[in-house]
Amino acid sequence: MDNILKRIQESRDVSLYQKMLKTLGAYTTTVPATGVDNLFDAVSEQGIKILPKDKKALEILDYVFDGGGPARVVHKLLNLRFSDLPVEFRPMMKNGRKHQVAHWSRNSKVSDRIKDLIDFEVSGKLGRWTDIDGEVTELIPMQKEEK
């Protein structure tokens, strides 16, 4: 059973990786010399290993890469912050009695940008959810409000 779950997860990762390749490749051919070609090179050279292993991070990236044409997706990838995401995708943590947006940390760099979920620098380090100070935290599940 564990083998089947692992294969399902790997197929989701490959699907996301294919979306990344297609989107970044299409963007670099239509809008060259913007720096996105460096991101495309990192994705194509390093393969699936630049994707995060965290389920929530993969869910966020899947949401971003499903959203429209290449220009729109690249804009979301480079400019969106976790707090800009819809409620069901937003990574939330509990800080005392408050709920706050969590941050992503890799190599002691703390960020709240979607782009930083992907290891474009090819550091080989796994990222993790942290608070603003870089302390590891656990996410709480958020659900979309129904009207």
pLDDT digit string (tens) for the chain, length 147 residues = 555 445 445 555 678 888 888 888 888 888 877 888 888 888 888 888 888 888 899 999 999 988 788 889 989 998 999 999 988 888 888 877 888 888 999 888 888 899 989 888 877 778 889 888 888 888 887 665 554
Residue 68 lies in a domain: yes
All residues at 6 or more sequence positions from 86 whose CB lies less than 8 Å from its CB, including other chains:
63, 144
Residue 147 lies in a domain: no
Confidence (pLDDT) at 1: 52
Residue 84 lies in a domain: yes
Helix (H, G, I), strand (E, B) or coil at 140: strand
Confidence (pLDDT) at 5: 45
Residue 145 lies in a domain: no
Residue 52 lies in a domain: yes
Residue 109 lies in a domain: yes
Query: What residues make up the domain containing 16?
Result: 2-140
Confidence (pLDDT) at 81: 92
Confidence (pLDDT) at 125: 77
Element (H, E) at 104: strand 103-106
Task: Measure the CA–CA gap between 15 and 31, rounded to whole angstroms.
Answer: 24
The two tokens of residue 22 are 């297609």
Residue 79 lies in a domain: yes
Residue 134 identity (one-letter amino acid)? G
Domains in the chain, number: 1
Residue 87 lies in a domain: yes
What is the pTM for the complete model shown? 0.82
Question: What's the gap between Cα 112 and its chain centre?
Answer: 10
